[in-house]
Chain A
Amino acid sequence: MRERDQIAEKLSAAGYIADGELATAIALMQLLKRPLLLEGAAGVGKTEVAKALAAVHGTELIRLQCYEGLDQSAALYEWNYQRQLLAIQAHRGSAGEVEEQIFSEKYLLERPLLAAIRRERSPVLLIDEIDRADDEFEAFLLELLSDFQVSIPELGTIVATTIPHVVLTSNGTRELSDALRRRCLYHYVDYPDVDREARIILARIAGAGASLSLQIARMVESIRKEELRKVPGVAETLDWAAALVGLDVRDLHDAPEVVHETLMCLLKTHEDKARFQPEVTARLLGKVA
């Protein structure tokens, strides 16, 4: 499909090295007008997809970070109570007049979800880590995503001026409801393969040469295969690459001690760190051509 290839091109122009199927997913989002649900381990670049998508469409990215206890007033809208109180004190008109005034647009605080449906141009709405929000919020979100309208009791129903491109991400700390899953397109983001990771390093870290990038990617891949408590993600790889470049390492084999010492960029628990004795690093380094 032509659109799909165009999207793939635009993605790489935006600096996002996508795996082959992601372009299809984005093309489908447009065609079917469905949200995209991204799942995958922490640090594989789920949030980056939304940023890249915003770049592809050339629009704004509106982000809603979910957390436990997130409710409508933090996600959708809230009245500006302080201003309302001030207005009441200042006016002293009849009750009807005051009410008319203080429940108007001027006193309404837009939160991400409301903002996303009132833009001139469809923005990208990123609902990050939806699995951290409560079940009730998920149900509410489901309603919003199907109708794209919001009813505010004091003001009436607000219908979306544009339909945003919705991306949801989940780390899998909680099982999402089937209803939400069914409404969304699904894409599983896996750790990138060596080749793709090398290209990501090359694109992101200035000063990392092609051969060093490839070495780093290979090394990280073999580290991921070890029994680790916390498997390093792409963000960690980039940190590590930046550290190595900053310490002027051109070839991993030249500076095994530096490699071993900088592994703290990748290994984030005490146990993992303890397991990686210098011999282990040397063994893995030996496998990296």
Chain B
Amino acid sequence: MSCCGSPSSYEESLEVSRLIATRLSAFLATLRDNAYAIGLKEGEDAAALIAAGYAERPGLLRSALKHLFSARRSDWDKFDGLFDAFWLGKRVRSRSVTTGSSKAANSPSLKSLSGTERQSMGGDSPPDQIPSDEDAPPQHGGEGRMEGASAADNLGDTDFRKMAEPEQIAQAHAAAALLAKAMRTRLTRRDLARRRGYRLDLRRTIHANVHHGGVPIDLVKRRRKNKPLRLVVLLDASGSMSMYTGVFIRFIHGVLDEFREAEAFLFHTRLAHVSAAMKERDPGRALDRLSMMAQGAGGGTRIGESLHNFNRGHAARVLHSRSCVMIVSDGYETGDAALLGREMAALAKRCRRIVWLNPMMGWDGYAPEAAGIKAALPHVDLYAPAHTLKSLAALEPYLAKL
């Protein structure tokens, strides 16, 4: 429609349609860079739309393409900006443009792992609260729980923040990824073992016995279907956690890779949903994408506010009755501690378990004195240390029981 119809000349119209095609494919490339999932078929359909006369008015074309190319709310919300920027030459806020990978990603706080040593804050009482099934010291039998981490045996006990050399850090990362994988396999095995509780399925039994003339000879039974455990990780990426974020990001990457149902969020002064970025196979690229999303990481922490946003915006979609929320944070709340308490209470109602991993718990003489952690603890089911690979591994039996 945009080209044909005018009797001028065939070649001219051919030229116009070729131009449109090039322009359109450039637009598709822009969208793909912005994490829109667009296949060949969508491109064809877009061309069909233009041919059908939808290009007569920009508003109409924008609305049509928006329906065609969007797949989720985030796409839907940012489409207008991208469209205007591309076709009408208006400015778009540069932040919404996120490309797959980029060398220029210079959000250092996520990547720099070996921070300076920090002194723990005062406080003498030993770590208390709900004990994990086994704390660090005793070696509870060769259950093969460390099957993943054994490759880096010597690193098992080392505090993440004491690892300074790049090799060591890399090793810790690999071990964390392996650990996540091992956790997954073990959880699956337990899941299968629990699948009992048979009942007779009458309908299928009758169906299966039609060829016996209705005499029920072969019985068909019904088994309960198990919902897989869903793991939702909320990782604190604030300045006070900077020595740990690297390892945990690697751990989360492994978890997302292996668990069929897992979601990850990052928070500092605000909350970012990072599952999509973390699904990138290559951890390096995932980290690149992540650092672009996590602008402002390394600053203060507003745990309460971040949880509030989580409860309001994501919880309904992400949580179900067999969800375990894992919060990795040191609990230094720079915002309102009372809000944190309220939001934790709300969160506790929605999910099965809340596990709070606190890397600082492994420090000598650390006590949960900070106002934030004090407000949160009553709602936490398991409060455990997470400063070494071993302490991470100790979580697995707990998760398996859920």
Contacts and interface: CB of A to CB of B under 8 A. Distances in A.
A186 B63 contact: no
B54 to A, nearest CB: 6
A181 B316 contact: no
Nearest to B346: A229
Interface in A170-229: 171-175, 178, 181-182, 184-188
Contact of A85 (B53, B210, B316): B210
B73 A81 contact: no
Interface string A154-182: 00000000000000000111110010011
Chain A residues touching B, majority SS: helix
Given A24-B60, A182-B42, A173 B75 contact: no
A31 interface: yes
Given A24-B63, A69-B225, A186-B70, A81 B52 contact: no
Nearest to A29: B67
Interface residues of A, number: 36
B71 A31 contact: no
A274 interface: no
A1 B55 CA distance: 10
A181 B320 contact: no
Contact of A178 (B37, B64, B77, B214): B37
Interface in A33-61: 34, 36, 39
A28 B210 contact: no
Given A24-B67, A186-B71, A1 B203 contact: no
A109 B294 CA distance: 54
Given A21-B63, A186-B76, A188-B76, A32 B68 contact: yes
Nearest to A178: B37
A1 B53 contact: yes
A39 B73 contact: yes
Contacts of A178: 37, 71
B184 to A, nearest CB: 17
A84 interface: yes
Contacts of A182: 37-39, 42, 71
Q: Interface residues of B toward A: which range?
A: 35 or more
Residue with the highest number of chain A CB atoms closer than 10 Å, among B48, B54, B67 = B67
Given A25-B67, A32-B68, A173-B317, A85 B206 contact: yes
Contacts of B37: 178, 181-182
Interface string A56-93: 00000000000001000100000101101100110000
A25 to B, nearest CB: 5
Contacts of A171: 316
B207 interface: yes
A229 to B, nearest CB: 8
A88 B66 contact: no
Contacts of A34: 45, 68
B68 A185 contact: yes
Given A24-B67, A32-B45, A181-B72, A1 B52 contact: yes
* 10 A-B pairs with the lowest CB-CB distances in the bound complex, closest first: A181-B71, A186-B70, A85-B214, A188-B76, A172-B317, A185-B67, A24-B63, A81-B206, A21-B63, A25-B67
Given A174-B317, A188-B77, 5 more contacts: A1-B56, A24-B64, A88-B214, A173-B316, A186-B76
10 contacts: A1-B53, A24-B67, A25-B67, A28-B64, A28-B68, A31-B49, A34-B68, A79-B207, A88-B213, A88-B214
